[in-house]
Amino acid sequence: MAVGVFDSGLGGLTVLDALTKRLPDVPFVYFGDNAHAPYGVRTADDIFNLTCAATERLWAEGCDLVILACNTASAAALKRMQETWVPADKRVLGVFVPLIEALTERQWGDNSPPREVAVKHVALFATPATVASRAFQRELAFRAIGVDVEAQPCGGVVDAIEQGDEILAEALVRSHVEALKRRMPTPEAAILGCTHYPLMEKVFQDALGARVKVYSQANLVAESLADYLQRRPQFAGLGTQSKFLTTGDPAYVSNKATQFLRRKITFEAV
């Protein structure tokens, strides 16, 4: 029973790695739309159409449940997909929910009025499209009051990570952190709102300082999925084999993925 994991590129591998460690008996089919990455600079309609196409491909692999391990897709496309496109016998979930649950210390199904939470000043680092969607702020506002969110669009970071240029990626991260700190000098927490960014988590933490709690999504998503499948095992899907699919050059993507996860990864072309 396979579960689909989608990302615009390689960043979702950080989520997949946590998922496979938490759920070692579940096969996962990973789809990277590397030919169209990055999504963070695309229009909402582009993101919606590309994400739907990838989701359909994962459904064809027997994955009735698809995780959008891409914050840009979760922010710009998921709500529209769930309201207008996803059939009743399928499920598509995003990566924002577990993050907001952790930040507000309340379950997603808790529909009580918004209340005050311990963290008041939150820095959000994300792609330009995620920041423009204001999806994180919107969902947070349903559950918490009095939280100041300062968002920093981190242009160029995903490209640098995808190209394997760690020196450029680190320089860009430090530049974006400094830009945010000019507007919010003392954040209490920081959200790494892109699944590529955990690869640079140490750089974010160093630039922000030890007092800032950095929330990274991978482990939170893994725990959330384990709970979801326990409650709704019927959505585990009909697929039986793990595999990696890409719209890009499979040899190039396989090489980069192997570097990221430090284990042999072989992608197939779609």
**Closest listed residue to residue 190, CA positions, set 151, 156, 247, 162:** 151
Q: Are strands 3-7 and 28-32 parallel, antiparallel or unpaired?
A: parallel
* Strand order, beta sheet including 91-93: 91-93, 65-68, 3-7, 28-32, 243-246, 268-269
d(CA 35, CA 13): 16
Contacts of 145 (CB under 8 A, 6+ apart): 114, 115, 116
User: How far is Cα of residue 178 from the mean position of the Cα atoms in its chain?
Assistant: 23
- Please report the DSSP string for 59-116 in residue order: HHTT-SEEEE--HHHHHHTHHHHHHHT--TT-EEE-SHHHHHHHHHTS-TT--SPPEE
| Given 52, 63, 70, 154, the catalytic residue | 70
R_g of the chain computed on alpha carbons = 18
> Nearest 5°: phi and psi at 193?
-90, 40
Contacts of 137 (CB under 8 A, 6+ apart): 124, 149, 151
| Given 52, 63, 154, 194, the catalytic residue | 194
Is 194 an active-site residue? yes
Return the active site residues. 70, 194
